Structure 1
Amino acid sequence: MRATLALTTSLMIASCANTVTESEPNERVTYNAISFADVTANQAAINELGSKKFSLNNAAAVSMLSSQGSREVLEYLVGCALPAGQAFTVHAAGTTYTFAGDVGLAKSWKSTKLSAKQQRWISACMFARINNQDQLLKISMRGPHHALHVTSAETSRFTQEEGVYYGNLFTGELPIVGWSCRGKAQAQGEGSEGSALSYRDCAEPGFGDTRELGLNQCGWGYAEDCFVHEFGIPFACESKVTTGGGVPDSEADGDASDEPSHGSNAPNAYYRRCHSGGEIPFLEPLWSEVITVYVESGPPSLD
Structure 2
Amino acid sequence: MVYEFDGGIGIHKKWGDSGGSCDNACKAWVSACVLSRINHLGIPTPISMRGNKSELSSDSAERAAYATREGAYYGNIFANPPLYYACLSPDQTSIQRVCGSSLDDCVVTAVGSCRDACDKPQGDGSYSNCRDQPRNASGKFPSGTSTYNGSITIFLQ
Moved more, 106-115 or 277-286: 277-286
Percent of residue pairs bearing the same amino acid type = 27
Q: Tell me the equivalent position of 2:120.
A: 239
Structure 1 residues 237 and 177 mapped into 2: Cα distance closer, same or farther (>3 Å)?
Answer: same
Shift of 1:291: 0.4
> Where do residues 10-159 of structure 1 align in structure 2 (5 Å cutoff)?
42=1, 64=2, 70=3, 74=4, 77-79=5-7, 102-109=8-15, 110-111=17-18, 112-159=20-67
Structure 1 residues 169 and 220 mapped into 2: Cα distance closer, same or farther (>3 Å)?
Answer: same
Q: Does residue 179 of the first structure (1) align with residue 85 of the second (2)?
A: yes
Opposite residue 126 of structure 1, the aligned amino acid is: V
Shift of 1:204: 8.2
Contact 1:164–1:203 at 8 Å: present in 2 too?
no
Contact 1:221–1:277 at 8 Å: present in 2 too?
no
Shift of 1:135: 0.6
Shift of 1:237: 1.0
Aligned length: 150
Contact 1:205–1:224 at 8 Å: present in 2 too?
no
Opposite residue 286 of structure 1, the aligned amino acid is: T
> Where do residues 155-170 of structure 1 align in structure 2 (5 Å cutoff)?
155-170=63-78
Q: Give RMSD over aligned pairs.
A: 2.4
Among 103, 110, 128, the alignment partner of 1:222 is 110
Measure, in 1, the Cα distance between the counterparts of 2:98 and 2:128: 21
Q: Tell me the equivalent position of 1:269.
A: 125
Contact 2:117–2:135 at 8 Å: present in 1 too?
no
Opposite residue 237 of structure 1, the aligned amino acid is: C
Contact 2:117–2:134 at 8 Å: present in 1 too?
no
Contact 2:40–2:100 at 8 Å: present in 1 too?
no
Q: Tell me the equivalent position of 2:152.
A: 291
Contact 1:143–1:149 at 8 Å: present in 2 too?
yes
Structure 1 residues 279 and 151 mapped into 2: Cα distance closer, same or farther (>3 Å)?
Answer: closer
TM-score (norm: length of structure 1): 0.46
Shift of 1:149: 1.0
Measure, in 2, the Cα distance between the counterparts of 1:274 and 1:134: 26
- Look at both structures and tell me which one has the larger radius of gyration over its CA atoms: 1
TM-score (norm: length of structure 2): 0.85
Instruction: Specify the SS of the correspondent of 1:241.
Output: coil
Q: Give the gaps of 5 or more residues in structure 1.
A: 1-41, 43-63, 65-69, 80-101, 191-196, 208-216, 228-234, 243-267, 297-303
Opposite residue 226 of structure 1, the aligned amino acid is: C
Instruction: Specify the SS of the correspondent of 1:135.
Output: coil
Structure 1 residues 106 and 147 mapped into 2: Cα distance closer, same or farther (>3 Å)?
Answer: same
Shift of 1:134: 2.0
Higher RCO, 1 vs 2 (CA within 8 Å, ≥6 residues apart): 2
Opposite residue 152 of structure 2, the aligned amino acid is: I
